[in-house]
Amino acid sequence: MSYLYFKKYVLLAGLTFLPAIAWSQFVVPPAFRNAVELQWNLTGSAQLTAASSPGYDAAGSGWLRLTENARQQTGSAQYTGASFSAEEGVIIDFDYVMWMTDAPTDLAGDGLSFYLYDATKGMTGAKHGGDLGYCGGDGGYLGVGFDAYGYFSTDIACGGLGDPNTPRIPNTIAIRGPLSSSNTYLAGTNVPALNNPDATARAVDRSARIVLVPTGDANSPFLVSVLDGPTGAPAPIITDQPFPYAAPPQLSIGFSASTGTATQIHEVRLNKVAVPADVQIDVAMTSPTSRRHGDPVSYTLSVKNNTLSNSPLSAKIDVPSSAPLINDRIPELSNKTWTCTASGAGTTCPAASGSGDIADLGNYTMGQSGELNFVFQGEVDQAAVCNASVGNSASVDFTPTSGFADEDPANNQSSSTAFVVDCPTDPIKPVPTKPVPALGVWGLSLLSMGLIGWGAIAQRRNRKG
């Protein structure tokens, strides 16, 4: 997860913790690109641009258009396919674009909102104009406004009793509370232009991310972070804003936008909804760092389900098919085997043991702060290159369809120098000398006779001379 890294800290004592932690995944498919969205309830002026009517875009390239460039419109879309509880966290990634303006007044507005709502209700009563189709909604629980016009971010919005002459605060991202608190303003940050009032055709879109981290405190269940920026590169705008309102038992998500006398087209595309998680992998050698061909090698690998940033909770990975995939490979080892042990409630190994390298190993579960511990045994392969430094690099990663988003990808890999292949040089052996063959009895006799004959011949030559 490259957009935002959270700094971890321990929550102060004294929180009222939720009595039971029963996580499940809240996964919503990407939405609004096609002609039909069966699990979304569209109301008011909301429409899909890839639908046959209006048919603005081809299927696969559409948007959710919440308002046209017309006055007094409110469009909303609520997801009805699933819900989640405040015991869970959720991350929402979406793109949006706001463009054009009201020609008579040259005012562009008002803006759009992302919200959580009580899944047993709807958003009946939500107001248009500067309330962004969120304030006043009977099921509204948490609203994040992308306030181009600047009314939603003032103390007179949402039925507030502030000074009616309060100036607008254009281009602000703001968080407001539930209907039960009169949609109280909690936090806001001014940002560069959120809209494109001079555009007469769809302008370049922006990207946003909403991060809701569960705290375990029933009376203040979320820390809210908002990121916003150019397409594909949102940056932190609001970070870890406490949300001090007890939540209804079941929540879901929605989008809305509205116009008043200021107008513009508001469009949204949903990219991903996932549960935040933080898994970590570590490898460590347990055998000497210098090994010869055939020598045994052992090492350990652990996968941990860390607590979330600023939270006492960790994601519960209770669907085996959604477990992050583990990879670990050392080609220089042969006859490799492994064993696995699990610790922590709700944590299970993919298998008690196995052999060979592991590639995309999944099919396990991890409960709160669960941990898997692997022990590997093998031997240095005879083909391992002499004097080579053999490394070990392991990884653990969620797949794009797992329904989880990892807070800290930096700890999803672990590497270490495993060992050096030691090949001792053979000592130089002396070349053996061949012994002079010994003469037998017959050989000595023949040699003696030869010497006597040679002597006799020599004497004759001397006499003649």
Residue 302 lies in a domain: yes
Q: Are residues 249 and 335 both part of a single domain?
A: no
Q: Are residues 144 and 258 both part of a single domain?
A: yes
Residue 153 in tokens: 């971010």
pLDDT at 5: 35
> In what helix (H) or strand (E) does residue 464 lie, and over which residues does it extend?
helix 441-464
Residue 168 lies in a domain: yes
Q: Residue 21: is its pLDDT beyond 50?
A: no
Q: Which residue has the tokens 């498919």?
A: 29
Kindly indicate the confidence band of residue 18, based on its pLDDT and cuts at 50, 70 and 90: very low
- Short-list 93, 280, 313, CA closest to 205: 93
- Find the radius of gyration of the CA atoms of the chain: 38
pLDDT at 10: 30
pLDDT at 257: 98
Q: Please indicate whether residue 106 or residue 460 has the higher confidence score (pLDDT).
A: 106
Q: Kindly compute the dihedral angle of the four CA atoms of residues 400, 401, 406, 412, in this order, to the nearest 10 degrees.
A: -60
Q: Are residues 344 and 265 both part of a single domain?
A: no
Q: Residue 446: is its pLDDT beyond 80?
A: no
Three-state secondary structure readout of 384-449 = CCCCCEEEEEEEEECCCCCCEEECCHHHHEEEEEEEEECCCCCCCCCCCCCCCCCCCHHHHHHHHH
- Short-list 339, 367, 343, CA closest to 353: 339
Q: Are residues 83 and 175 both part of a single domain?
A: yes
* 104-107 own/partner pairs: CB under 8 Å, 24+ apart: 105/261, 105/262, 106/197, 107/149, 107/261, 107/262, 107/263
Q: Are residues 233 and 305 both part of a single domain?
A: no
* 443-446 own/partner pairs: CB under 8 Å, 24+ apart: none
User: Could you give the count of Cα atoms lying within 13 Å of 458 in the half-sphere of its Cβ?
Assistant: 6
pLDDT at 6: 35
Q: End of a domain among 277, 309, 344?
A: 277
Q: End of a domain among 215, 246, 277?
A: 277
Q: Which residues pair with 391 in a beta bridge?
A: 417
Residue 35 lies in a domain: no
Q: Residue 336: is its pLDDT beyond 90?
A: yes
The order of strands in the sheet holding 251-258 is 40-44, 74-79, 251-258, 111-118, 140-147, 172-176, 185-190
Q: Beta-carbon neighbour count of residue 355 at 10 Å?
A: 11
Task: Please tell me the total count of domains within the chain.
Answer: 2
Among 294-303, 356-365, 451-460, the minimum mean pLDDT is found in: 451-460
Tell me: the pLDDT tens digits for 242-297?
A: 999 999 999 999 999 999 999 999 999 999 999 999 999 999 988 888 999 999 99
Q: Are residues 343 and 295 both part of a single domain?
A: yes
Tell me: the pLDDT tens digits for 142-172?
A: 999 999 999 999 988 998 877 878 899 999 9
Q: Do 24 and 84 contact (CB within 8 A), yes or no?
A: yes
What average pLDDT score do residues 6-19 get?
33
The 3-state DSSP class for residue 96 equals strand
Tell me: the pLDDT tens digits for 387-439?
A: 999 989 999 999 988 989 999 999 999 998 879 999 987 555 555 666 656 65
pLDDT at 165: 83
Q: Are residues 209 and 296 both part of a single domain?
A: no
What average pLDDT score do residues 132-142 get?
97
Average model confidence (pLDDT) across the chain: 89
Give the domain extent around 59. Answer: 40-277
Q: Residue 174: is its pLDDT beyond 80?
A: yes
What average pLDDT score do residues 330-344 get?
96
Residue 363 lies in a domain: yes
Residue 101 lies in a domain: yes
Tell me: the pLDDT tens digits for 176-228?
A: 999 999 999 999 999 999 999 999 999 999 999 999 999 999 999 999 999 99
Q: Are residues 50 and 121 both part of a single domain?
A: yes
For the chain, what is the total number of helices (H) and then of strands (E)? 1, 25
Instruction: Look up the CATH number of the domain holding residue 347.
Output: 2.60.40.10
Interacting residues of 65 by C-beta distance below 8 A, sequence separation 6+: 45, 46, 47, 48, 49, 54, 56, 75, 265, 266, 267
Q: Distance (Å, rounded) from C-alpha 145 to C-alpha 173? A: 6
Q: Distance (Å, rounded) from C-alpha 304 to C-alpha 32? A: 36
Tell me the pTM: 0.78
pLDDT at 88: 84
Q: End of a domain among 249, 277, 305?
A: 277
Beta-strand runs (E) in 278-315:
279-285, 290-291, 296-305
- DSSP β-ladder status, 296-305 and 333-343: unpaired
Q: Residue 386: is its pLDDT beyond 90?
A: yes
What are the angstrom distances between the C-alpha of 330 and each of 124, 391, 433? 60, 7, 48
Q: Which residues pair with 142 in a beta bridge?
A: 116
What average pLDDT score do residues 339-351 get?
97
Kindly indicate the confidence band of residue 16, based on its pLDDT and cuts at 50, 70 and 90: very low
Residue 172 lies in a domain: yes
What average pLDDT score do residues 123-131 get?
95
Q: Residue 8: is its pLDDT beyond 70?
A: no
Q: Are residues 379 and 341 both part of a single domain?
A: yes
Residue 52 lies in a domain: yes
Instruction: Look up the CATH number of the domain holding residue 211.
Output: 2.60.120.200
b/e code 278-305 from CB counts within 10 Å (16+ = b) = bbbbebebeeeeebebeeebebebbbbb
Q: Which residue has the tokens 């994040």?
A: 144
Q: Are residues 412 and 291 both part of a single domain?
A: yes
pLDDT at 401: 87
Kindly indicate the confidence band of residue 15, based on its pLDDT and cuts at 50, 70 and 90: very low
Q: Are residues 396 and 343 both part of a single domain?
A: yes
Apex 224 CA angle, 178 and 250, nearest 5: 50
Q: Are residues 194 and 303 both part of a single domain?
A: no
* Phi and psi based region of residue 232 (left: phi greater than 0; alpha: psi -120 to 50; beta: remaining): left
Residue 305 lies in a domain: yes
